Amino acid sequence: MNETGRTAAVDRAALLEVFLIEAQECLLAMKQALGELQARPQDEGQVQVLFLMARTIAGSAPSLGLQGAAELAHALQDVVQRVREHSLPVTDVLIALLRRSVDRLREVLPLMGP
């Protein structure tokens, strides 16, 4: 492999590693935010956390070729956006759906650790 090729390979490994660690941080924050939102459905700060975290995953997954994760994170972001705009109420059903989406994201990403 030539020098340029090796640099590109190292960069992709580093990029994937930072993305996966970032994604893990985001998913953990989303899980905690969902728990707090269930206790206090009016807590818009938690909705903001969910939005920011979903957007972060949706923004970086495509460049690593993680299309499934990107699409799911985008869908999550869209749903949370509707909550932010108050066009979708926070219900137990919605929270259960968001939880399942977060769990599914954990499954499709090759994460390490807890």
Interface residues with other proteins (CB under 8 A)?
A: 1, 6, 9-11, 13-26, 28-29, 32-33, 36, 45-46, 48-49, 52, 56, 59-60, 63
Of residues 93 and 113, the one with the C-beta less far from other proteins: 113
Shortest spacing between CB 1 and other proteins, in angstroms: 8
Of residues 44 and 99, the one with the C-beta less far from other proteins: 44
What is the CA 36 to chain-centroid distance, rounded? 17
Shortest spacing between CB 50 and other proteins, in angstroms: 10
In single-letter form, the type of residue at position 7 comes to T
Shortest spacing between CB 113 and other proteins, in angstroms: 8
Instruction: Decide if 48 contacts 33 (C-beta within 8 A).
Output: no
Residue 59 to residue 70: CA distance in whole angstroms: 7
Rg of the chain over Cα atoms, rounded to whole angstroms, equals: 16
Of residues 18 and 75, the one with the C-beta less far from other proteins: 18
Shortest spacing between CB 67 and other proteins, in angstroms: 15
CB within 8 A of 81, min separation 6: which ones? 51
Of residues 29 and 95, the one with the C-beta less far from other proteins: 29
Instruction: Decide if 49 contacts 30 (C-beta within 8 A).
Output: yes
